[in-house]
Amino acid sequence: MEFCPTCGNMLLYELPYMDRPARFSCPTCPYACQIETRVKIKRHVRLVKKPIDPIFSEDDRKNLNETSVPCPECNNDKASFTQVQTRSADEPMTVFYTCTKCRHTWTEN
């Protein structure tokens, strides 16, 4: 980014036109400067994935109610469950199941 030395506004890039080379020009005053060399700037940003904290801790899971629902992973017939309002109030609550044997978690709307 370049700024105008006269008024301080950000200079705009103008494409080459006829015999005039590419240049930076100020949108508010008559200042313009020719671009003499090409510059390519790259910026790499490395995203760091943060670990997600579980919604329910192991102590919370010990106190959850149990029901007889088959687990889709191991076919165990018992699972603990909790209901959470994840959408608007006029939508049904989402039921989160956790298998008591393999700890697989799945949902039911």
Residues 58-103: tens digit of each pLDDT? 777 777 888 899 999 998 999 988 888 888 888 888 888 988 889 8
Burial 7-43 (b: 16+ CB within 10 A, else e): eeeebeeeeeeeeeeebbebeeeeeeeeeeeeeeeee
Task: Report pLDDT digits (tens) over 11-50.
Answer: 998 888 888 888 899 999 999 998 877 777 778 889 898 8
Rg (CA), the chain: 31
The pTM of this model reads: 0.47
Determine if residue 33 is labeled as part of a ligand binding site.
no
d(CA 95, CA 64): 12
pLDDT value, residue 5 = 92
